[in-house]
Structure 1
Amino acid sequence: MNAPVLCVVGARPNFIKMAAILPALAALPTPLATRLIHTGQHYDPAMKATFFQQLGIPEPDLDLEVGSGTHAVQTARIMCRFEPVIETHRPVAVLVVGDVNSTIACALVAVKMGIPVIHVEAGLRSRDRKMPEEINRILTDQLSDFLFTTERSAENNLVAEGIERKRIHFVGNVMIDTLLRLLPQAPTVAEVVQTRHPGVWPAFTQEMAFGLVTLHRPANVDDPQTLKELMLCLAQQSKKLPMVFPVHPRTRQRILDAGLNEVLARSDVILLPPVGYMEMLGLMKSAKVILTDSGGVQEESTALGCPCLTLRDNTERPVTVTEGTNTVVGRNPEVIASALDEILATGGKAGRIPELWDGKAAQRIASLLGEALR
């Protein structure tokens, strides 16, 4: 058997992107052999056999089971456990996606062992060095031999950082590949809410207007005062538009610790347990507006044509603002309220689908790698 491409994932969004890449590599006239390596950086109880079946990919060939820890501990643990994987498989390349600790850790091990590194979703920049993900993005790009970008601005960022243009390839967005493929199979919002929270909104219908909320970033949930202001804002705005809020366990604990559960219980903010990818698609495709601090959700909302309010001071995905449906509003409750009022009054930014977000990004990646790695 030919030497494989080791495809590294560390968190659920990585699997969603890899769900487009793996089939594309396998569909080449001469398929590229792959091995799917899960570092175990994020434990997600939703990642059972059905999760992989829905995405149409096999379960990981290997789980490094690194678990949680500080950035230093987690990154070091991944590096120590990934090195023998390279020694065993002697891959033709290591492919990493996104900007999690697994991304930089495995890229660093590979390049020090003389293995080419492929970075999918390269060149995104928030200009905020306080974000751990920004550091991971910058360093991974410097180490990579193949840099696949999702938007034109990413190439400009990379060139400005001294990376040769011949290493950069604008291919589109693999996350949108997966979204477009699976969207027709997504459940209705009524099915999601009634399954996840029986008895809540028993009259909930597909036609009922609602906002969708996702929050997980430390800047929003770890500071008690910031979290309090955001939760009070959501509770107040839910009087205008009911809010569906699938809550990450860590975020839910922060809400409880801050004594904010009762505030939300008296509002029209509906707290759901974490939802799977297909359920999230069902919620996003029916939402009137999405309020988020997630980079991936900013992209998905643009692809779906749904107005998005990003509760951060910046975004590493500017095309979602300049061409898409996204508006960066920060954390000021008055600014959030004003932006929501504008959406309710006008329908929000229409936006358009960015260049090459056409469901074929993974095919372009596979075609380029099929030629380069022979």
Structure 2
Amino acid sequence: MEHNFTWKNDGRTKVMIGCGTRPEIIRLAAVIKRCREYFDCCVVYYNQNWDRNLSTVFWEDFELKNTFGEYGPDILVPVVGENLGVTCGNILGRSYELLSELQPEGYLVLGDTNSCLSAISAKRLHIPLFHMEAGNRCKDECLPEETNRRIVDVISDVNMCYSEFARKYLADTGLPKERTYQTGSPMAEVLHMNLEKIQKSDVLERLGLEKDKYILLSAHREENIDSEKNFLSLFTAINALAEKYDMPILYSCHPRSKHRLEKSGFQLDPRVRVNEPLGFNDYNKLQMNALAIVSDSGTLPEESSFYLSIGHPIAAVCIRTSTERPEALEAGDFILAGITTRELL
């Protein structure tokens, strides 16, 4: 595989970090910066999100520079194929090739995306494997993320859990205690690191929005977009929400979601404004000032808990039928609403 990366060979432990989507960049931002301080570090990006607004802008938002002094990963690995099987095959094959060549002394992945399946390559090559966000379960086996979580948790040498719920779950499955640690979520560090930039964002002025006079929407998960039944249920509920509250609903729309809407011919209420995906600082400024955030994002539970902890609670409404973050239901301003009109209203 062609790339220009070489280890510094300065005596520090060689650590490779693998990621492939916007949420992974966000959650790993503070971790990557700290790893570059203490380790000979290589960041690999399996390019699942190829749109600039879903990847490139986030390296810039977090000022994450590679070993060449540019914003971005050290190695960019194209993996997207014509179908899911080809994409997953590319992730496995190309990660195996890269890990075989560079032979890091540790490999770190976070979460449950398809990029995390690169962990299988590390395991087969006997490279110590570390999994952040381990032990999360929504108990819905129809979700692809649930399958990925189970695979990576079981094969990892060290599982780093966000919560006692997750740690206890892994302990109950029989994983050795010495392989499982409760570390908390890295999102608090990420949000603290960027809080000043978030507060300085002028996104409300640019979009012509006023505090507490709009609803922020994000809907992109496979179970909400690719399922015809769930798609129609959710967006019918969104239209009902716009009618009930009679205010703008700003939809930060993933390209795949936009394509699905256009292909379906579904007519959104005129008050629902479809917008390109927003950068981290702009999106969080919008979250801090919205009447409510209606979202299926995996980072929403952590963000709601963080804002509550700094005395700025947000109204976080999760448009899913299950969550892998039960602790957020207890600790933050976070509710599991579902995807029907009756549930959402």
TM-score over 0.5 for the pair: yes
* Letter in structure 2 aligned against 1:42: N
Tell me by how many angstroms 1:162 deviates: 1.3
The question of whether the paired residues in 2 share the 8 Å contact of 1:193 and 1:272 is answered with: no
In the superposition, the TM-score normalised over structure 2's length comes to 0.87
- RMSD of Structure 2 on Structure 1 (CA): 2.0
Classify the secondary structure of the residue corresponding to 2:251.
strand
1:138 maps to which of 147, 150, 154: 150
- Residue in 1 aligned with 2:269? 264
Tell me by how many angstroms 1:50 deviates: 5.3
2:231 maps to which of 216, 227, 232: 227
* 1:288-318 deviation line (CA, Å, top 9, x unaligned): 2111112212321232221222111110011
Matched, 1:297 2:308: no
The question of whether the paired residues in 2 share the 8 Å contact of 1:110 and 1:117 is answered with: yes
List alignment gaps of at least 5 residues for structure 1. 338-374
Classify the secondary structure of the residue corresponding to 2:269.
helix
The question of whether the paired residues in 2 share the 8 Å contact of 1:42 and 1:68 is answered with: no
1:286 maps to which of 283, 289, 306: 289
Classify the secondary structure of the residue corresponding to 2:50.
coil
1:48 and 1:116 map into 2 onto residues whose CA distance is: 27
Tell me by how many angstroms 1:23 deviates: 1.9
1:51 maps to which of 46, 58, 76: 58
Classify the secondary structure of the residue corresponding to 2:93.
helix
225 and 53 in structure 1: CA distance in 2 versus 1, 3 angstrom threshold: closer
The question of whether the paired residues in 2 share the 8 Å contact of 1:41 and 1:68 is answered with: no
Q: How many residues are paired up?
A: 322
- Residue in 1 aligned with 2:35? 25
Tell me by how many angstroms 1:225 deviates: 3.9
Matched, 1:253 2:259: yes
* 1:147-180 deviation line (CA, Å, top 9, x unaligned): 1111110011101121111111111111232122
Classify the secondary structure of the residue corresponding to 2:131.
strand
* 1:158-211 deviation line (CA, Å, top 9, x unaligned): 01121111111111111232122112202667x32554x5xxxx4x33x34222
- Residue in 2 aligned with 1:155? 167
1:18 and 1:213 map into 2 onto residues whose CA distance is: 24
Tell me by how many angstroms 1:63 deviates: 0.9
Moved more, 82-91 or 106-115: 82-91
- Residue in 2 aligned with 1:9? 19
1:192 maps to which of 203, 228, 232: 203
113 and 76 in structure 1: CA distance in 2 versus 1, 3 angstrom threshold: same
2:41 maps to which of 30, 34, 51: 34
Classify the secondary structure of the residue corresponding to 1:111.
helix
1:35 and 1:139 map into 2 onto residues whose CA distance is: 24
- Residue in 2 aligned with 1:325? 333
- Residue in 1 aligned with 2:4? none
The question of whether the paired residues in 2 share the 8 Å contact of 1:38 and 1:62 is answered with: yes
* Letter in structure 1 aligned against 2:250: V
1:131 and 1:159 map into 2 onto residues whose CA distance is: 23
- After superposing on structure 2, the runs of 4+ consecutive aligned residues of structure 1 that deviate more than 4 Å are 47-50
2:269 and 2:315 map into 1 onto residues whose CA distance is: 23
289 and 171 in structure 1: CA distance in 2 versus 1, 3 angstrom threshold: same
The question of whether the paired residues in 1 share the 8 Å contact of 2:240 and 2:341 is answered with: no
Tell me by how many angstroms 1:227 deviates: 2.3
In the superposition, the TM-score normalised over structure 1's length comes to 0.81
Q: Could you tell me the percent identity over the aligned residues?
A: 25
Classify the secondary structure of the residue corresponding to 1:264.
coil
Moved more, 114-123 or 239-248: 239-248
* 1:5-43 deviation line (CA, Å, top 9, x unaligned): 11001111111122111222234xxx2111001111221
229 and 128 in structure 1: CA distance in 2 versus 1, 3 angstrom threshold: closer
The question of whether the paired residues in 1 share the 8 Å contact of 2:61 and 2:279 is answered with: no
- Residue in 2 aligned with 1:335? 343
